[in-house]
Amino acid sequence: MEQVFFISDVHLGHGTKEINRAKEIELVRFLNLVGENSTKLFILGDFFDVWFEYKLAVPKGFTRVLGKLAELSDNGVEIFYILGNHDFWVRDYFENELGVKIFKDDLKIEINGKKFYITHGDGLSKSDKGYRILKKILRNRVNIALFSLLHPDFGLWLANASSKKKQRILN
């Protein structure tokens, strides 16, 4: 029977440099365990607190984790990344450079003879109308294209500042 690993809501980039370095080291340990014991890894969104990928630039940092994902893929581990509400703005870096399969929506898959419906889960609640509207705005191709016109330094600063402000409001 195939052993499969799932991980969700890591939010790399949220918190201090020290917190993120410790989180990244723990994540690499987990990914080592995946590589030793599995042929499939499912990342269920919000792997990063903010990820906006420009055509020729990706966010700085997380080198250890990104390298480990590439290593796992090179060694035959299938990696499925279902994007969340913090890391939806992925282009082709993960697929072309790391060998990670990207899914912008939910995924239906059969594992060990059983059918699974795999999702990040954001926006599932029909009563969360405000978020469902915001999700459509944030995932709108025109809005993404307009945001990508911002210089990466400013665009990523703005996205990170927005995420931090949201966290302060929620806490």
pLDDT of res. 25: 96
Helix axes 17-37, 63-74, angle to 10 degrees: 10
How many alpha carbons fall within 13 Å on the CB side of residue 122? 24
Q: Which of 104, 5, 112 is nearest to 51 (CA)?
A: 104
pLDDT of res. 171: 53
pLDDT of res. 169: 57
The domain total for the chain is: 1
**Interval 78-95 mean pLDDT:** 91
User: Pick the residue with more confidence: 15 or 78?
Assistant: 78
Residue range 137-169, pLDDT digits in tens: 888 889 888 988 999 889 888 887 887 766 555
Q: Which of 82, 11, 10 is nearest to 40 (CA)?
A: 82
Q: Is the pLDDT of residue 39 over 60?
A: yes
- pTM for this entry: 0.86
Q: Is the pLDDT of residue 8 over 60?
A: yes
User: Pick the residue with more confidence: 134 or 79?
Assistant: 79
Q: Is the pLDDT of residue 5 over 90?
A: yes
pLDDT of res. 167: 58
The enclosing H or E element of 5 equals strand 4-7
User: Pick the residue with more confidence: 132 or 112?
Assistant: 112
Q: Is the pLDDT of residue 3 over 60?
A: yes
CATH of the domain at 57: 3.60.21
What is the greatest pairwise CA distance in the chain? Answer: 48
Give the domain extent around 147.
4-170
**Interval 77-86 mean pLDDT:** 92
Q: Is the pLDDT of residue 54 over 60?
A: yes
